[in-house]
Amino acid sequence: MKKYRFSVLIERDEDGYLVATVPALKSYYTQAKTMKELMSRIKEVLELCLQEGNT
């Protein structure tokens, strides 16, 4: 299995949500209330992007 490394930018929005974006992937973002939940979502969306060949 090939391994990838991506930079992930995490910011807090005006409503208090954590928002993660991956500049290397077009239209990639996810959000959550907690860091634990955000990390899980980042991993899930990255896996989907890689399966679909969106790198």
- Provide the number of structural domains found in the chain: 1
Is residue 55 predicted with pLDDT exceeding 70? Answer: no
**Per-residue model confidence (pLDDT) at position 26:** 79
Q: pLDDT of 5-35, one tens digit each?
A: 899 999 999 999 999 999 988 778 899 999 9
Residues 30-43: what's their mean pLDDT?
Answer: 96
| Burial (0-12, 13-18, 19+ Cβ within 10 Å), 12 | exposed
Could you tell me if residue 15 is inside a domain?
yes
Whether 1 maps to a domain, the answer reads no
Q: Looking at the domain assignment, is residue 13 inside a domain? A: yes
Residue type, 14: E
* 55: DSSP letter: -
Note down the domain range covering 18: 9-51
In a domain, 27, yes or no: yes
* Nearest CA-CA partner of 19 in 36, 33, 2, 3: 33
In a domain, 4, yes or no: no
Flag whether 2 is in a domain. Answer: no
d(CA 18, CA 34): 7
Residue 3 is assigned to a structural domain of this protein: no
What's the whole-model pTM score? 0.78
